[in-house]
């Protein structure tokens, strides 16, 4: 009996360990030269003063990455899609990865100081830069940087005073996925999810992250212009409250929340859900699995992401990370990765290479179609100053978004 | 003299060892101390040390934008947030409620099974039953939970059985799933102490009760139940505390938030101080529970 008692005690210890796992001595917010006050744009800080490397040395033999599921394939699912093994062979850097469930999770993982880099979306990049977790990148050292589409350089979510804090991986919208056998006619708007008393009660699939509040705000932007929402990530308290009301109505329709791509695949396959927010990635895998699933970018537009490979300031394998960033911008790797995930490639060379894997890839993903991407609101961090220069308005903060999400999910 | 010289002449070690043994023999307390130093040191450092850090980190500040935690800068923010948030009370009530339901369910299931095993079954049947009850403990926890997922989800075994009656699967978002699966998971932990409790009741008590004219029901109520009650409480420590601390099962089969889920979410999503502060709650609940259980004599039945 005593052993079992001990087992109970161990379970408690495990719980406690889990509870304070993320609370370990996270890397101190040192900020570094030019780090804090990053978006406020106070004077240009010359790249030289940012303590960036001037050459890439030999690989350190290992590379630890925080990634979105599907961002580092080694051919396990489909031998044609393997851009990790060639990298390891060429550089000797053994790659290990940790999937993040959402950007909040990604930031938290990076704070642990155990990783060399991350494929961060725009709602993580700003926090990582301001928190002094990631370092600026000397792009002159990266041979593939000049090829990148000009439209993907110098974007505000990963650039401070003209200094890039990473290199682009790919971009795409969050889509409305649906089971075409059940949902007829094919939806062209987000209404089936948002407009009250859903016909798909209990069968709706929703992304489980505080950033999903922006999807509600986006719907309000289209349906209720009188609320004056300009940016679904920077909301005044009144606008935010309306978005939460919409989410509570959605919650009453008992959606299934998905944390990982695999979760959502399982619930589509079992028939537990028939409609909801998704990424092209899951849809590709479900279609390959002969499931009657399709995805559409609704007329109102959508939230989306533009992902950046960033290097940790405290990276233990900085040379390997520089080599990885360069590798991920190369024609072959970028083509494979963006076709595999279902997102827009980042250079003309990658688009050309993608033709062999998926003809018309860059056209389908609108790689250079800025008009298309103007309908896509890239994930961004909610900021108290509304991320604008107007001092009069204040917006609901990131912390409040997370709290509201906890309340919505736990209530 | 010569024998002494012989001892001295023998290789130095045994002599030293023997002298040390003799020295220790005269000091039983020191002996005990040395014996326990290792495990107690481990308990002190790993267990109480982590608890202490947990307690401290609940008072650390966190940058509200970047989410960076600043150790050893103090704030009551996490606790204020916990007390202000309705959701944390809802989650606590839900968790305690399900843990209590699981405990009651397991107690009701365990009583007849354990009674049969201890008093009625032949020794052969009894050992078969013990094996049957312990067997699920050999399978990994996650394997069992995922097995339940395939049973409960759409197109699953449960729907296969209920579909002819027009009952559709509620999928994996039903809170009742958490109750069902947790009751299944922790049942052996209730049966075994109760079984041991029944075994300890001398047969002569039951005979005396019936000799004095008590019917079976009266004997059970007035003799058996009071005697086996401490064992029930002992079993309930497991079922209650394991349910209270679980966060994987509610997430996987019910998509429900328990205390553990909120703690996990906050440690994974960048608010470790809040997670630490909330973790005080299950610790407090279990401390109180264990104190009551001790009063009820449960520890003597373990």
- All domains of chain A, ordered by start, with CATH? 52-172+305-370 (3.40.190.10), 175-278+382-410 (3.40.190.10)
Q: Could you tell me how many residues make up chain A?
A: 411
Q: Are A379 and A211 in contact (CB under 8 A)?
A: yes
pLDDT at position A11 over 80: no
Over residues A149-171, the pLDDT tens digits come to 998 999 889 999 999 999 999 99
List the structure tokens of A271.
């028939």
Is 80 exceeded by the pLDDT of residue A43?
A: no
| Residue ranges covered by each domain of chain B | 2-43, 79-301
Q: Domain B79-301: give its CATH architecture.
A: Orthogonal Bundle (1.10)
What's A82's DSSP letter? Answer: B
- Select from B57, B90, B172 the Cβ nearest to the Cβ of A256: B172
- By C-alpha distance, the chain B residue nearest A399 is B64
Cβ–Cβ below 8 Å for A267 and B169:
no
pLDDT at site B158: 87
What share of chain A has pLDDT > 90, as a percent? Answer: 74
Say yes or no: A407 contacts chain B, CB-CB below 8 A. yes
Closest CA to A23 of B284, B257, B58: B58
- What are the pLDDT digits (tens) for A356-374? 999 999 998 999 888 889 8
Reported confidence tier of residue A244, pLDDT bands at 50, 70, 90: very high
Nearest to B61 by CA among B298, B259, B271: B271
Considering CB atoms only, which of B67, B86, B276 is closest to A108? B67
**What pLDDT is recorded for position B202?**
92
Nearest to A300 by CA among A180, A193, A157: A193
A chain contacts of residue B272, beta-carbon cutoff 8 Å: 20, 22-23
Tell me the C-alpha distance between A235 and A238, whole Å.
8
Report DSSP state, residue A87: H
pLDDT of residue B130: 94
Which whole-number Å values give the CA distances from A109 to A105, A123, A209, B82, B98, in the listed order?
A: 6, 15, 16, 24, 31
Is A30's pLDDT higher than 70?
no
SS3 A198: coil
Q: What is the pLDDT of residue A182?
A: 94
Does pLDDT of A20 surpass 50?
A: no
Q: How far is CA A139 from the centre of its chain?
A: 22
Beta bridge partners of A305: A172
Contact check, Cβ <8 Å, B268/A101: yes
pLDDT one-digit tens code per residue, B111-140: 999 999 998 999 999 999 999 999 999 999
Considering only CB atoms, which chain A residues are within 8 Å of B51? Answer: 16
Q: Where are the beta strands (DSSP E) in chain B?
A: 60-62, 69-74
How high is the pLDDT of residue A281?
92
**Partner B contacted by A26 (CB < 8 A):** yes
Q: Do A104 and B269 touch (CB under 8 A)?
A: yes
| B46 to A13: CB separation less than 8 angstroms, yes or no | yes
Report residue B11's pLDDT band, with 50, 70 and 90 as the boundaries: low
Evaluate whether A321 touches A315 at the Cβ level (below 8 Å). Answer: yes
pLDDT tens column, B207-251: 999 999 999 889 989 999 999 999 999 999 999 999 999 999 999
Q: Write out chain B residues lying below 8 Å of A16, CB-based.
A: 50-51, 54, 279
Q: What's phi and psi for A94, nearest 5 deg?
A: -80, 120
Helix (H) or strand (E) holding A392: none
Which of A35-39, A207-211, A405-409 has the least mean pLDDT?
A: A35-39
Mutation test of the interface with chain B: which of A7, A410, A411, choosing the one with the most B Cβ atoms within 10 A?
A410
Interchain CB contact of A397 with B (< 8 Å): yes
**Token pair for A328:** 């991920």
Q: Inter-chain contact A267–B196, Cβ cutoff 8 Å?
A: no
Query: Under an 8 A CB cutoff, do A130 and B276 touch?
Result: no
Q: Tell me what the pLDDT averaged over chain B comes to.
A: 89
- The pLDDT value recorded for residue A5 is 39
Q: What angle do CA A202, A121, A145 make, to 5 degrees?
A: 145
Is residue B1 pLDDT above 50, yes or no? no
Give the separation between CA B151 and CA B129, rounded to whole angstroms. Answer: 24
Q: Which residues make beta-bridge pairs with A206?
A: A257
- Inter-chain residue contact A266 with B170, CB threshold 8 Å: no
Q: What is the pLDDT of residues A295-335, one digit of tens each?
A: 999 999 999 999 999 999 999 999 999 999 999 999 999 99
Q: Which of residues 160-219 of A touch B (CB under 8 A)?
A: 202, 210
Max CA-CA distance within chain B? 99
| Rounded mean pLDDT, A113-141 | 95
The three-state secondary structure class of A308 is strand
Look-up: residue for tokens 């023997």?
B18
Q: State the average pLDDT over residues B243-264.
A: 93
Structure tokens at B254: 């019910």
Distance from CA of A128 to the nearest CA of B (A): 7
Answer yes or no: do A410 and B264 touch at CB < 8 A: no
- pTM (2 decimals)? 0.81
8 Å CB contact of A202 and B171: yes
DSSP assignments along A260-299, one per residue:
SHHHHHHHHHTTS--EEEE-HHHHHHHHHTT--EEEE--T
Is the predicted pLDDT of residue B279 greater than 80, yes or no?
Answer: yes
Average pLDDT, integer, range A94-109: 94
Question: d(Cα B220, Cα A12) in Å, to the nearest integer?
Answer: 35
ipTM value: 0.76
The verdict on a CB contact (< 8 Å) between B154 and A407 is no
- Mutation target for A interface from B152, B269, B284: give the one with most A CBs within 10 A: B269
Kindly tell me the burial class for residue A153, based on how many C-beta atoms sit within 10 Å of its own C-beta (0-12, 13-18, 19 or more). middle
Chain A residues 257-276 with a CB less than 8 Å from chain B: 257, 266-267, 270-273
Taking the C-alpha atoms of residue B112 and residue B95, their distance in angstroms, rounded to an integer, is 27
pLDDT at B14: 65
Tell me the per-residue pLDDT of B29-82, one tens digit each, with 9 for 90 and over: 888 888 898 888 888 888 889 889 888 999 999 887 788 888 888 999 999 999
The predicted pLDDT at position A49 comes to 59
Question: Tens digit of pLDDT for each residue in B190-203?
Answer: 999 999 999 999 98
């Amino acid at each position: 009996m005593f052993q079992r008692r001990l087992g109970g005690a161990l379970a408690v210890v495990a719980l406690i360990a889990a509870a304070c796992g993320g609370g370990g001595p996270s890397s101190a917010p040192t900020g570094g030269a030019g780090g804090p006050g990053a978006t406020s744009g106070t004077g240009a800080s010359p790249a030289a003063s940012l303590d960036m490397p001037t050459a890439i040395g030999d690989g350190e033999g290992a590379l630890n990455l925080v990634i979105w599921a599907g961002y580092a394939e080694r051919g396990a699912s489909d031998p044609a899609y393997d851009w990790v093994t060639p990298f390891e062979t060429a550089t000797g850097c053994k790659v290990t990865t940790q999937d993040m469930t959402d950007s909040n999770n990604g930031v938290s993982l990076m704070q642990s100081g155990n990783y060399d880099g991350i494929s961060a979306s725009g709602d993580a990049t700003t926090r990582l830069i301001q928190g002094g977790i990631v370092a600026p990148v000397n792009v002159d050292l990266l041979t593939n940087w000049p090829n990148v589409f000009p439209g993907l350089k110098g974007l505000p979510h990963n650039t401070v005073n003209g200094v890039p804090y990473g290199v682009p991986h790919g971009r795409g919208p969050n889509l409305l996925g649906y089971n075409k056998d059940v949902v007829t006619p094919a939806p062209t708007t987000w209404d089936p999810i948002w407009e009250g008393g859903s016909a798909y009660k209990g069968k709706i699939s929703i992304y489980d992250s505080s950033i999903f509040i922006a999807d509600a705000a986006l719907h309000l932007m289209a349906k209720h212009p009188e609320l004056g929402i300009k940016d679904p990530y920077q909301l005044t308290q009144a606008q935010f409250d309306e978005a939460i009301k919409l989410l509570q109505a959605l919650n009453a329709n008992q959606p299934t929340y998905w944390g990982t791509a695999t979760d959502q695949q399982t619930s589509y396959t079992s028939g537990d859900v028939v409609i909801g927010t998704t990424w092209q990635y899951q849809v590709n895998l479900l279609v390959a699995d002969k499931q009657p699933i399709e995805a559409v970018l609704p007329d109102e537009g959508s939230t989306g992401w533009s992902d950046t490979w960033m290097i940790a300031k405290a990276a233990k394998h900085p040379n390997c990370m520089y080599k990885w960033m360069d590798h991920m911008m190369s024609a072959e790797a970028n083509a494979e990765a963006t076709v595999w995930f279902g997102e827009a490639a980042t250079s003309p060379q990658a688009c050309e290479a993608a033709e062999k894997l998926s003809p018309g890839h860059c056209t389908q993903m609108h790689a250079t179609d800025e008009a298309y991407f103007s309908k896509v609101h890239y994930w961004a961090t909610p900021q108290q100053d509304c991320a604008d220069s107007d001092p009069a308005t204040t917006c609901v903060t990131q912390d409040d978004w997370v709290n509201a999400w906890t309340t919505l999910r736990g209530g | 003299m010569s024998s002494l010289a012989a001892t001295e002449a023998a290789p130095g070690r045994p002599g030293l060892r023997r002298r040390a043994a003799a020295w220790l023999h005269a000091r039983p307390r020191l002996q005990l101390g040395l014996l326990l130093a290792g495990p107690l040191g481990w308990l002190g450092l790993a267990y109480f040390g982590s608890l202490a850090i947990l307690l401290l980190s609940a008072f650390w500040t966190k940058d509200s934008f970047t989410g960076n935690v600043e150790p050893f800068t103090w704030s009551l923010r996490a606790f204020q947030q916990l007390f202000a948030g309705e959701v944390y009370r809802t989650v606590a009530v839900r968790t305690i409620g399900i843990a209590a339901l699981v405990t009651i369910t397991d107690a009701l299931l365990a009583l007849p099974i354990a009674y049969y095993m201890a008093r009625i079954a032949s020794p052969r049947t009894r050992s078969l039953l013990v094996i049957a009850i312990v067997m699920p403990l050999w399978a990994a926890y996650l394997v069992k939970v995922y097995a339940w997922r395939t049973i409960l989800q759409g197109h699953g075994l449960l729907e296969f059985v209920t579909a002819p009656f027009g009952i559709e699967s509620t999928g994996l978002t039903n809170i009742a799933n958490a109750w069902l699966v947790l009751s299944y998971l922790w049942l052996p932990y209730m049966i075994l102490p109760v079984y041991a409790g029944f075994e300890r009741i001398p047969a002569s008590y039951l005979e005396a009760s019936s000799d004095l004219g008590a019917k079976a029901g009266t004997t059970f109520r007035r003799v058996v139940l009071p005697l086996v009650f401490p064992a029930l409480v002992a079993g309930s420590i497991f079922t209650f505390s394991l349910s209270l601390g679980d966060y994987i099962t509610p997430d996987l089969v019910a998509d429900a938030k328990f205390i553990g889920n909120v703690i996990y979410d906050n440690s994974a999503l960048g608010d470790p101080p809040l997670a630490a502060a909330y973790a005080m709650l299950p610790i407090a609940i279990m401390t109180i529970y264990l104190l009551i259980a001790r009063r009820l004599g449960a520890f003597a039945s373990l």
